[in-house]
């Protein structure tokens, strides 16, 4: 079974430029998460989707970040415009559902460097 797929793996951009990350979760997983991991820190949740609905986006900086999960499968996370402080690894994770506790499966992440 294929794991969570993310692309690109690495992205280098100049500040004020837009950037987008793509995630394909494990087939059949209804819940999708985007995390940001700063250097030396643990992952921090940005947004959680249940199917195509964003059910928790309280930590998403909405002035510059946006996300979508059309048809409840793939998801994209966008930053526009990027700032120096956005340099981090952006992780996507998925889990089967919301009943009880479900293990989250992580993708390899996209390492963003903003110059």
Show the CA angle centred on residue 58, arms to residues 55 and 60, nearest 5°: 105
Closer Cβ to another protein, 17 or 32, answer by number? 32
Given the rule CB under 8 A, which residues bind another protein?
Answer: 4, 9, 31, 40-45, 48, 55-56, 91, 93, 95, 98, 101-109
CB of 9 to another protein, least distance (A): 8
Tokens representing 28 are 């059949």
CB of 17 to another protein, least distance (A): 24
53-75 exposure pattern, b = at least 16 Cβ within 10 A, e = fewer: ebeebeebeeeebbbebeeebeb
Closer Cβ to another protein, 81 or 104, answer by number? 104
Distance CA 61, CA 65 (A): 6
CB of 29 to another protein, least distance (A): 12
Closer Cβ to another protein, 17 or 41, answer by number? 41
Tokens representing 38 are 């700063």
């Amino acid at each position: 079974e294929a794991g969570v797929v993310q692309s690109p793996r690495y992205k280098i951009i100049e500040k004020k430029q837009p950037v987008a990350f793509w995630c394909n979760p494990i087939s059949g997983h209804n819940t999708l998460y985007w995390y940001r991991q700063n250097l030396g820190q643990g992952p921090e949740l940005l947004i959680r989707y249940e199917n195509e609905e964003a059910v928790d986006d309280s930590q998403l900086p909405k002035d510059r970040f946006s996300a979508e999960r059309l048809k409840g499968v793939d998801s994209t996370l966008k930053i526009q415009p990027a700032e120096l402080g956005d340099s981090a690894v952006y992780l996507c994770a998925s889990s089967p559902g919301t009943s009880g506790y479900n293990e989250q499966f992580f993708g390899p992440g996209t390492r963003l460097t903003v110059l």
